[in-house]
Amino acid sequence: MTSPLAQPLPLACGATISNRIGKSAMTEGLADSFDRPTKQHNQLYQTWSLGGTGVHITGNVMIDRRYLERAGNVVLEDDSEIDKFKHWARAGTVGGNHLWMQISHPGRQCPSLVNSQPLSPSDVQLKMLGSFSKPRALTQLEIEEIIQRYVNTASLAKQAGFTGVQVHCAHGYLISQFLSPKTNQRTDQWGGSLENRARFARLVVQAVRKAVGDDFPLSVKLNSADFQKGGFSLQDCVQVAAWLAQDGIDLLEISGGTYEQLSLMGVEATEVRESTRRREAYFLEYAKAIKASAKVPLMITGGFRSRAVMEQAISTGEIDMVGLARPLCTEPDVSRKLIEQNIDSIDDFETCLKIGDGFWGNNSPVPLIKTMNTVGQVSFYYQQIIRLAKGLPVNTKLKVFPLFWQHMLNDTCLNIRRKRAQRRYRT
Ligand SMILES: Cc1cc2nc3c(=O)[nH]c(=O)nc-3n(C[C@H](O)[C@H](O)[C@H](O)COP(=O)(O)O)c2cc1C
């Protein structure tokens, strides 16, 4: 019997995704000191492209080089390096799949090492150990300018040969900051009611749609909720999803959480309970409400690890696409194996990646140890991405404690190298 994951998915824009598995965005950290894509991007995406996934969504590409999610992000602001993007797009589509560029602005989630004066709807600082400065509230003029930047980057992505774009409205980045009443405390037309908080997201999506045309795939990644008291709620999500569907998106990807509440990785996903099936796919239980309200194909991402759960979610029509991220780092061709029914489940390394148990585990009462575990776990996947990008085999034996220190060192070096190079260029 053929897997339901093998079915093609037609989109409203006229494009078709060849099957029901999408690679969700993962920041690569592979850009050079001038924030340009490199040969490593080409190698990585070619490997992924040959792995049988229907649509690959790139790691978040920044729309403004002054504000990054991390050093090593790619920035697309103008066409001066368009050839490098064309190479990336070509390599990432050799397998006949779609390759969509995720475009984003970090807002307050911009590390101090990148910029010590980040921007946000309001001046609400991120509550995290050390490394993020208090943001300044955006002016009306700056908000309008940022909308144009999304449009510009989306148009350039199309020009470079990417087959679609995804606007990042989730995980506590700028658009998500506008959506949440915790981070958006404005009293003008951009804050207050849900209609006002969603204005920025909607104007970005409408303007991008106008610029790329009706026949170009346009997706949004949205939080089901922030899972924080007084934050963006499931009820908000259901309404915003309906509005975005009206604004002409082709695929809605649902995730959840922010840097302060890492539900996106299944960490502290307190809302996730019920059956094992529900626990495995963190946000699947919200699909019904979102689908009832937004008439648009739905991809849910986060925690899918067994073929039976994926196939059931697709065959019952609960969702239209399964989003996978971390499994693609350790098994770049996992989609083909799932679709051809050669495997029943994917290794979930994240459940055993921690410094130790008890005091040293994920729920340590010491914030520094908790942070080391979280950073070390993400770094495990960063390292697999780097290895794939260099054409090396994955190494699943890496340990969280050394990975934490390696990441801190790498990140600091990347920031210093980038700052030096760009300063030299400017003088
Ligand atoms: C290394 C890494 C980098 C990520 N970078 C991004 C990103 O750039 N944009 C984004 O929307 N999500 C990002 N995510 C979140 C994933 O897209 C996904 O939502 C999350 O990992 C849960 O899916 P999974 O359980 O299949 O891994 C990242 C996750 C990981 C592990």
Q: Which two tokens stand for residue 188?
A: 């003008």
- Ligand 1 centroid from CA 54, angstroms: 17
Q: Which two tokens stand for residue 164?
A: 């679609």
State the burial class of residue 129 (Cβ atoms within 10 Å of its Cβ: 0-12, 13-18, 19+): exposed
CA distance 187 to 390: 49
Q: Which two tokens stand for residue 145?
A: 């300018």
C-beta of 374 in contact with ligand 1 (< 6 A): no
**3-class SS letters over 162-222:** CCEEEEEECCCCHHHHHHCCCCCCCCCCCCCCHHHHCHHHHHHHHHHHHHHCCCCCEEEEE
- Ligand 1 centroid from CA 29, angstroms: 13
C-beta of 282 in contact with ligand 1 (< 6 A): no
The boundaries of every CATH 3.20.20.70 domain in the chain are: 7-346
C-beta of 73 in contact with ligand 1 (< 6 A): no
Residue 324 is predicted with a pLDDT of 98
C-beta of 336 in contact with ligand 1 (< 6 A): no
**Ligand 1, atom 13: closest residue by C-alpha:** 26
The strand pairing partners of 214, in sequence order, are none
Nearest atom, ligand 1, residue 282 CA: 25
CA distance 419 to 69: 15
- Ligand 1 centroid from CA 281, angstroms: 14
How many secondary structure helices (H) and strands (E) does the chain include? 14, 13
C-beta of 5 in contact with ligand 1 (< 6 A): no
C-beta of 325 in contact with ligand 1 (< 6 A): yes
- Ligand 1 centroid from CA 426, angstroms: 34
C-beta of 221 in contact with ligand 1 (< 6 A): yes
Q: Which two tokens stand for residue 229?
A: 């008291």
Closest CA to 178 of 208, 142, 210: 142
- Ligand 1 centroid from CA 56, angstroms: 12
C-beta of 264 in contact with ligand 1 (< 6 A): yes
- Ligand 1 centroid from CA 26, angstroms: 5
State the burial class of residue 1 (Cβ atoms within 10 Å of its Cβ: 0-12, 13-18, 19+): exposed
Are the beta carbons of 67 and 114 closer than 8 angstroms?
Answer: yes
- Ligand 1 centroid from CA 302, angstroms: 8
Quick check: helix, strand or coil at residue 301? strand
CA distances from 96 to 46, 53, 99, 235 (A): 11, 10, 9, 38
- Ligand 1 centroid from CA 272, angstroms: 18
C-beta of 168 in contact with ligand 1 (< 6 A): yes
**Ligand 1, atom 28: closest residue by C-alpha:** 26
| Residues of the chain with confidence (pLDDT) below 70 | 129-130, 267-279, 427
- Ligand 1 centroid from CA 347, angstroms: 16
Q: What is the CA radius of gyration of the chain?
A: 20
Rama region for 229: left / alpha / beta (φ>0; ψ in -120 to 50; rest) = beta
Fold classified for 7-346: TIM Barrel (3.20.20)
End-to-end CA distance of the chain: 64
Q: Give the HSE-up count for residue 340: Cα atoms under 13 Å, Cβ half-sphere.
A: 9
The strand pairing partners of 253, in sequence order, are 221, 299
**Ligand 1, atom 30: closest residue by C-alpha:** 26
Nearest atom, ligand 1, residue 170 CA: 11
Nearest atom, ligand 1, residue 221 CA: 11
pLDDT digits (tens, 9 = 90+) for 4-21: 999 999 999 999 999 999
Which stretch of DSSP H or E encloses residue 119? strand 119-120
The strand pairing partners of 62, in sequence order, are 75, 104
C-beta of 326 in contact with ligand 1 (< 6 A): yes
Nearest atom, ligand 1, residue 58 CA: 8
C-beta of 303 in contact with ligand 1 (< 6 A): yes
C-beta of 383 in contact with ligand 1 (< 6 A): no
